[in-house]
Amino acid sequence: MADLLLEFKDVNTFYGDMHALKNVNYTIERGEIVCLLGGNACGKSTTMKTIMGVVRPASGSVTFDGQVISNLATSERVRRGIAPVLEARRLFPRMTVYENLELGAYTQPRGPQFEQDLERVYALFPRVKERRDQLAGTLSGGEQQMVAIGRALMARPRLICMDEPSMGLSPLFVEQVFDIIQEINRQGTTIFMVEQNANMALSIAHRAYVLQTGEVVLSGTAAEMRENEMIKQAYLGEMQVEAA
Amino acid sequence: MTTADLILQQLINGVSLGAMYALLALGFTLVYGILELINFSHFNIFMVGSFVALMTLDAFGLKGQTVVLTGLPLAGVLLVAFLVTMVATGVLGVGIERFLLRRVRHVKGPAAMITTIGVSYILLNVVLLTTGADAKNFPNPLPAVHYDIGGAVLRLREILIWIIAFVLMGGLSYFVNRTRLGKAMRATAQDPDAARMMGIEVDRVIMTAFFVGSALAGAGGLIFGLYYNFTSASVGFVAGLRAFTAAVLGGIGNVPGAMVGGLIIGLIEASGGQLIATAWTDVVIFSILVLVLVFRPSGLFGRMAPNKS
């Protein structure tokens, strides 16, 4: 377990009276792509919020890079190397693409490193470079998702938490986005993602967890998941029909 | 005076008043942009500012209109007076946010707004009880230099007010548009949750908005004193409401809007005093407030309200 990057240990999180996460355990190792599957209101978003520190667990611990982070402020978590790609992208609509990227680097020192990171994002997304002076709110959904991923990269993260990266995108863009996620992972960033599109997610993930009403009911490698009858029925059903 | 001279004169007066209202309107807009909160204590932060300025000038031995300074001493005294006033009101604004408003920020309903009204009355009454209700003579250390443009008079006082307001608003624009903290402020206004996830310390941004807004109100208070040569505990109310109208007119939450709105209200006040009757000025100004709220609630330049999800 030397390569452990993020760990949830018996985490319980409540929203008022609702028990959103029940004794949840995750382990994410350096260099992995791990995806989190589950239906609506199963605790996927709560998981992301717990990692970012938007909600605090009532019990249990969240460990990042060997240190307990459950009580740290969000800003400190970002500083330590966790960056989010938020659900529905959530760019700052009346700021330029460039300014959005700058804000992604908010916790980083300004200097040659910033320019380097910017070049890296522009290399991954030439489209983002073309649009850099445009207001983010005027971009198409796919372009916005590119900026959202670029913005996360500007924080020099060791872990990127993605909440529904394919949501609202055309199938063509979905494929592009997943290619990019794989490329970012190959360059050394660990990815933890929540995704409705289980078929797509399992095609690039190394491992997966399945959440049901706040509990982890299944976990394993992506290959095992694709063969699992329950997964096939619950999440890959449409794909099976299409393939048949 | 010919009609053209009169118009020019009212233009000169209007721009000076407008600069003051704009400085005051900016504080409403900065705080509203981030918290969607109308900060009624801002009225009397402005008033306290004019008293801090009065005391600072007093401390330099300036009383009433008897002492006149020129050159470097004048520049030095004004610089110190502006700095002291702006820091004092800035700290007052931050204190109100940190110790009172932050505690009610997450309370649903009008608790925060009502708190600001309460604070406003506390400030008013503290000043009333300690200095009395009468108008105070405000020092005017400026030499009576003036330029005649046709029949209109442009005094040194107006020129100075314009320069100061220009520098302050230019500085604010630079801060909001170009600096790291300023960009964090705009991001927080557009999407506070996403801003937090970028690692922005939202509490710090909110405190900065209160500091900057209140400091500008303090500068406005000093300009009020220089312009009218008096101040009193009750000046915050009328000036505050007019500046609030300016902020709404420009689109509350919108920084350039507050500046233009302030200028328009200043021009209306100046020309209203001349062309209609001073007593009717507020009828005109607050009719604008009502008309904007009813027919164009986002103001002339559109609202920059947060995307609350």
Tens of pLDDT along A11-51? 999 988 889 999 999 999 999 999 999 887 788 989 999 99
Q: Is there a contact between B60 and B135 (Cβ–Cβ < 8 Å)?
A: no
Residue A134 counted as domain residue: yes
Q: Is the confidence at residue A137, as pLDDT, over 90?
A: yes
Residues A16 and A121 in one domain: no
In this complex, do A93 and B307 lie within 8 Å of one another by their Cβ atoms?
yes
- Categorize the per-residue pLDDT at A244 as very low, low, confident or very high, splitting at 50, 70 and 90: very low
In this complex, do A84 and B197 lie within 8 Å of one another by their Cβ atoms?
yes
Residues A28 and A60 in one domain: yes
> Domain boundary at A109, A137, A156, which?
A156
In this complex, do B186 and A92 lie within 8 Å of one another by their Cβ atoms?
yes
Residues A147 and A178 in one domain: no
Residue A30 counted as domain residue: yes
How many structural domains comprise chain A? 2
Residue A88 counted as domain residue: no
| Binding-site residues on chain B for chain A (CB distance < 8 A) | 180, 183-184, 186-187, 190-191, 193-201, 304, 307
In this complex, do B198 and A79 lie within 8 Å of one another by their Cβ atoms?
no
**CATH code of the domain in which A60 resides:** 3.40.50.300
Q: Is the confidence at residue A63, as pLDDT, over 70?
A: yes
- Categorize the per-residue pLDDT at B236 as very low, low, confident or very high, splitting at 50, 70 and 90: very high
Q: Indicate the residue of A84, A93, A106 with minimum beta-carbon distance to B190.
A: A93
Residue A87 counted as domain residue: no
Residues A75 and A188 in one domain: yes
Q: Indicate the residue of A74, A79, A92 with minimum beta-carbon distance to B190.
A: A92
H/E segment holding residue B148: strand B146-149
> Domain boundary at A127, A156, A185, which?
A156
Residue A107 counted as domain residue: yes
In this complex, do A74 and B191 lie within 8 Å of one another by their Cβ atoms?
no
Per-residue pLDDT, B53: 97
Residue A225 counted as domain residue: yes
Q: Considering only alpha carbons, which residue of chain B is nearest residue A99?
A: B183
- B32-77 pLDDT, tens digit per residue, is 999 999 999 999 999 999 999 999 999 998 887 778 888 899 999 9
| pTM, to two decimals | 0.91
Picking from B181, B186, B197, B301 by the largest number of A CB atoms within 10 A of its own CB, the best residue to mutate is: B197
- B251-260 pLDDT, tens digit per residue, is 998 999 999 9
Residue B215 burial (CB < 10 Å; 0-12/13-18/19+)? buried
| Segment B229-253 mean pLDDT | 94
Residue by residue, DSSP assigns B176-230 as: HHHSHHHHHHHHHHH-HHHHHHTT--HHHHHHHHHHHHHHHHHHHHHHHHHHHSE
Residues A63 and A120 in one domain: no
Per-residue pLDDT, A242: 41
- A166-177 pLDDT, tens digit per residue, is 988 988 889 999
Q: Is the confidence at residue B78, as pLDDT, over 80?
A: yes
Residues A174 and A238 in one domain: yes
Residues A70 and A175 in one domain: yes
Instruction: Give B107 to chain A, closest Cα distance, Å.
Output: 15
Considering chain B, what percentage of its residues have pLDDT values greater than 90? 76
Q: Is the confidence at residue B171, as pLDDT, over 70?
A: yes
| Binding-site residues on chain A for chain B (CB distance < 8 A) | 52, 54, 73-75, 78-79, 84, 86, 90-95, 99, 102-104, 106-107, 110, 151, 155
In this complex, do B197 and A110 lie within 8 Å of one another by their Cβ atoms?
no
Residue A198 counted as domain residue: yes
In this complex, do A74 and B193 lie within 8 Å of one another by their Cβ atoms?
no
Residues A17 and A121 in one domain: no
Q: Indicate the residue of B184, B190, B201 with minimum beta-carbon distance to A94.
A: B190
**ipTM for this prediction:** 0.91
Task: Please report the sign of the dihedral spanned by the C-alpha atoms of residue A197, residue A202, residue A204, residue A208.
Answer: positive
Residues A52 and A106 in one domain: no
Instruction: Give me chain A's average pLDDT, please.
Output: 91
| Segment B161-185 mean pLDDT | 96
Per-residue pLDDT, A2: 56
Instruction: Give B192 to chain A, closest Cα distance, Å.
Output: 10
- Taking one residue from A and the other from B, the number of pairs with CB-CB distance under 8 angstroms is 61
Residue A90 counted as domain residue: no
Picking from A74, A96, A98 by the largest number of B CB atoms within 10 A of its own CB, the best residue to mutate is: A74
Residue with more model confidence, A232 or B53: B53
Amino acid identity at B243: A
Q: How many CB atoms lie within 10 A of CB A237?
A: 13
In the three-class reduction of DSSP (H, G, I as helix; E, B as strand; rest coil), residue B107 is classed as coil
Which chain A residues have a beta carbon less than 8 Å from that of B307?
93
- Dist CA A191 CA A28 (whole Å): 9
Q: Which domain holds residue A128?
A: 95-156
| Segment B4-22 mean pLDDT | 93
Per-residue pLDDT, B2: 84
Residues A71 and A60 in one domain: yes
In this complex, do A106 and B190 lie within 8 Å of one another by their Cβ atoms?
no
In this complex, do A103 and B187 lie within 8 Å of one another by their Cβ atoms?
yes
Per-residue pLDDT, A240: 42
Q: Indicate the residue of A52, A74, A95 with minimum beta-carbon distance to B190.
A: A95
In this complex, do B199 and A74 lie within 8 Å of one another by their Cβ atoms?
yes
Residues A37 and A134 in one domain: no
Q: How far is the CA of A69 from the CAs of A10, A72, B35, in angstroms?
A: 14, 5, 28
Instruction: Give me chain B's average pLDDT, please.
Output: 92
Among A74, A55, A66, A54, which Cα is nearest to A27's?
A66
In this complex, do A52 and B197 lie within 8 Å of one another by their Cβ atoms?
yes
> Domain boundary at A111, A128, A156, which?
A156
In this complex, do A92 and B191 lie within 8 Å of one another by their Cβ atoms?
yes
Per-residue pLDDT, A243: 40
Q: Indicate the residue of A94, A95, A107 with minimum beta-carbon distance to B199.
A: A107
- Dist CA A70 CA A52 (whole Å): 9
Residues A103 and A218 in one domain: no
